[in-house]
Amino acid sequence: AGGDTWNAIVVEDDDANVTPQDRAIANLSRAVRNYQPRRRTARESRRDETQSLDEVQHEEDILGELGEVIDLTADDDPIVYRAQPRQHFPAPIPIPLERSLRELVLSGGRTIKVNFCYQVCSPQNRYFKVEFLRVTEIIQRGFAGHEFVRGIPYARNKSLGGRLPRKRNEVFAIYEVQYDDLRPVEQQGLVEIPALELGVPRRLHITNAPFPAHRYDPNMSPDEQTAEQEGPLVCRWKVFAYFHDARTHAALKACEWAIARIASGEVPEAEFRVNEETLSQNWRGSTIRGGAHNPPRLVPSHRRMPVRGEGQQYEMFDAFCGAGGASRGAERAGFKIKGGIDMARHACESYRLNFPRAKLFPMTVHEFLFTTRHQELRADVLHLSPPCQVWSPAHTVDGVNDDANVAALFSCRQLIEKFRPRIFTLEQTFGILQKKFELFFNGLVAGFTDSGYSVAWKVISMANYGLPQRRKRLIMLGAGPGEKLPDWPPHTHSETGRDGLRKYTSIRQALRKINNHIERTDPHHRPVITAGAADAIVSDPDGILRRCMTTSGGQNRHYSGTRNYTNREFACLQGFPVWHRFSEYSVRKQIGNAFPPCVVQVFYEHIQKHLHRADGFVGSSRPRPVIGERSMVLTVD
């Protein structure tokens, strides 16, 4: 099995901390990396459990601010052309007086060659400080002296604000991609600059091996400055910034990001290539293809089964599980729920009612990590929904020593190290994307990349996945060493319902599941005619809620205008199946805090297909029911 730490990343070879921001990044990274789990005091636990902020209200307050730097509209409606096959372009017709060159000799005798890497004389600084270019094409337009080069740009890890390990001479490739550009990503990522802008050549090692493999030899350089200026560069990562269209690209308003490890198939030289299964084995130990729950008896590798065994399922563990919103969605997608962690007593009571066979840890994450510190735990997929209050505009940030901030970053990193999942998902308020929290968000990402995980994130509109609300949340997808990062699941709904998608789920459709039998027997469905508050909001039943639900209901009033929604109705509007059970107290808070199960189901069905395909299976990705037994996976209300 994998070791307790990934020794490759603790080599002390960090880039120098020149600016105050560099020092802040380094201090936070060190605090997160060295944070040790401990038992929380009773006072701390009570304080954490009682913190409650209206997240949705604060998110609405910062929409305008974030809209200046992030495209928050790209996920509002489906991007139909993204679902279409990539268009294959014919070979371009050469423009008169333009020709390609294999090499170019500049004045002074310097030679530029294709497939070589060069330092850029005047670093380009858009999102990243581009310092290097790997030339893929040399172009001469017109007469001599009008030469240009195209190639893949590279920047040093330290320019990414701490999202990648800040190791000397470690670089990443940059790809800026537009949704409405159907050219291959590799072609979109090319940049063009005058050939005279290229400086000295630099040796570049492209590898999927973990640090410190293939780094520069410190003994070959007299000092650190010489090593940085002349030593070989090593690229282990690619960074993608996605834009809705040319307009948002020009404004540098990205709507999606990804930091992905170089894959073995992208490493051109065999000596720098590592088998992906070896990377996975070194990180998490043996992986059971098809899912860790109820695997079939082992068969020789040459007799690998084309389908999963009967009753075999991928296992999911739910951190910060609450009443079980994420667990319910994953279960309905076909996952086996291994367990969950939560400190809220009433939410844990609800979780036990719904998942009696799952191992529930009713404690803080810090207590869980402390009490299980000598146990080896694994899960195929880990879900993380860390507390959001820290990133609310109403929370005061005291700096890198703020215990709540460091603890939140620490817990995600430590949970990844504990479970070592093949895939993880994370759901969070997009308030963490505010400029004032940039240091902490980058630290959150670094907690994953330090362990070799590829990470993608974007703000999604949950209405596009079947929720009858315009609820926006930050979602992350991650893939461990040896695993490929999943794509984003395509939209299932749109406002118009065109192009094969369903129309937004309406309020009436969501509440249609509540029948007469439920009305008589459900303690959480007791409609009472009441007067409405002055700020109450009544929405059209054939549309979606005009205001998102919160832990207090969000001022939403029943579409009849005569009463408030019941807790059962709120649960249905939050994507829960009508039979999901809740404890007696704090029900509305449990519902408002939940990751909507209907959205989770879409994501986890997509992840299940991804793993099923990666494991080499064919046919349906749904679990095969055990013959003679009733399937426990419920897919209909």
What are the start-end ranges of the E strands in 94-232? 98-101, 103-105, 111-113, 117-125, 129-141, 147-156, 170-178, 191-194, 198-202, 204-206
Whether the CB-CB separation of 197 and 121 falls below 8 Å is answered with: yes
Q: Is residue 502 one of the residues assigned to a domain? A: no
217 with 362, same domain? no
Q: Is residue 528 part of a domain?
A: no
**400 occurs within a structural domain:** yes
Q: Which pLDDT score, from 0 to 100, does residue 18 have?
A: 66
| Exposure b/e, 427-455, CB count within 10 A at least 16 = b | bbbbbbbbeebebbbbbbbbbbbbbbbbb
Asked if the structure places residue 622 within a domain, the reply is: no
Place of tokens 């609405």: 60
Do 407 and 467 lie in one domain? The reply is yes
Are 368 and 424 part of one and the same domain?
yes
50: pLDDT strictly greater than 50: no
Residue 636 forms part of a structural domain: no
Query: Pick the residue with more confidence: 499 or 30?
Result: 499
Same domain, 41 and 115: no
In which element (H, E) is residue 538 found? Answer: strand 537-538
Comparing 182-186, 441-445, 620-624, the range with the smallest average pLDDT is: 620-624
Q: Are residues 32 and 108 both part of a single domain?
A: no
The verdict on residue 479 lying in a domain is: yes
CATH code assigned at 361: 3.40.50.150
Q: Tens digits of per-residue pLDDT, 291-349?
A: 999 998 765 444 566 888 899 999 999 999 999 999 999 999 999 999 999 999 999 99
DSSP 310: B
Type of residue at 366: H
Is 567 a residue whose pLDDT tops 90? yes
**The two three-digit tokens of residue 195, written as one number:** 């050939």
Does residue 636 register a pLDDT over 80? no
DSSP letter string, 351-363:
HHHH-TTSEEEES
Which CATH number covers residue 272? 2.30.30.490
Are the C-beta atoms of 601 and 333 separated by less than 8 Å?
yes
How is residue 155 written in tokens? 């920047």
CA distance 204 to 545: 53
Please determine, for residue 20, whether its predicted confidence score (pLDDT) is greater than 80: no
Return the pLDDT at 63: 67
pLDDT of residue 255: 95
pLDDT surpasses 70 at 171 = yes
* One domain for residues 447 and 376: yes
Q: Which of 164, 613, 590, 627 is nearest to 423 (CA)?
A: 613
Structure confidence at residue 611 as a pLDDT band (50, 70, 90): very high
pLDDT-based confidence at residue 126 (cuts at 50, 70, 90): confident
Distance, in Å, from the CA atom of 152 to the CA atom of 144, rounded to the nearest integer, reads 24
Claim to verify: residue 352 and residue 484 sit in the same structural domain: yes
Tell me the pLDDT of the chain averaged across its residues: 85
Report pLDDT for 137. 96
Which secondary structure element, helix H or strand E, spans residue 411, and what is its range? Answer: helix 403-419
The amino acid that residue 421 corresponds to is P
pLDDT digits (tens, 9 = 90+) for 99-112: 899 899 988 788 99
Cα dist from 331 to 153, 292, 376, 561, 601, whole Å: 43, 15, 24, 35, 8
Same domain, 152 and 267: yes
Percent residues over pLDDT 90 in the chain: 63
Separation CA 160–CA 415 (nearest Å): 24
The predicted pLDDT at position 302 comes to 45
| DSSP-assigned letter for residue 453 | -
Split at pLDDT 50, 70, 90, the class of 217 is confident
What DSSP state is assigned to residue 366? H
Strands 198-202 and 117-125: antiparallel
Name 457's bridge partners.
257, 476
Q: How far is CA 606 from CA 287, 600, 612, 636, in A?
A: 20, 10, 10, 18
Query: Is residue 139 one of the residues assigned to a domain?
Result: yes
The pLDDT of residue 238 is 98
Q: Is 234 helix (H, G, I), strand (E, B) or coil?
A: strand
Q: Specify the range with the lowest mean pLDDT, choosing from 510-514, 550-554, 589-593, 604-608.
A: 550-554
Question: For residue 530, which of 565, 554, 555 has the smallest C-alpha distance?
Answer: 565
**Residues in the chain, total:** 637
Using an 8 Å Cβ cutoff, are 383 and 317 in contact?
A: yes
Residues 264 and 318 both lie in one domain: no
Averaged over 166-170, what is the pLDDT? Answer: 95
The number of domains in the chain is 2
Q: What is the pLDDT of residue 26?
A: 77
Q: How confident is the model at residue 51 (pLDDT cuts 50, 70, 90)?
A: very low
Helices (H) then strands (E): counts for the chain: 17, 23
Structure confidence by residue, pLDDT tens digits, 383-421: 999 887 666 554 554 544 456 656 766 789 999 999 999
Range of the domain at 118: 99-243+255-277
Three-state DSSP class for 52?
A: coil
Q: What whole-number distance in Å separates Cα of residue 573 and Cα of residue 171?
A: 46
At residue 58, the pLDDT reads 60
> Any idea which of 56-60, 90-94, 171-175, 284-288 has the lowest mean pLDDT?
90-94
Q: What is the pLDDT of residues 228-265, one digit of tens each?
A: 999 999 999 999 999 999 999 999 999 999 999 999 99
Note the pLDDT of residue 127.
Answer: 76
Assess whether 45 and 162 both reside in one domain: no
In a domain, 235, yes or no: yes
Pick from 148, 157, 113: nearest CA to 134: 113
| Contact status, residue 132 vs residue 202, Cβ threshold 8 Å | yes
- Same domain for 374 and 424? yes
More confident residue, 459 or 13: 459
Domain match, 371 and 421 both = yes
Residue with tokens 């009441």: 530
Residue among 481, 7, 2 nearest 277 (CA): 481
526-555 residue pLDDT tens: 999 998 888 889 999 999 999 887 776 668
| Residue 412 to residue 417: CA distance in whole angstroms | 9
Q: Which residues are catalytic?
A: 388
Cβ atoms of residues 232 and 131 within 8 Å: no
Instruction: Assess whether pLDDT exceeds 50 at residue 152.
Output: yes
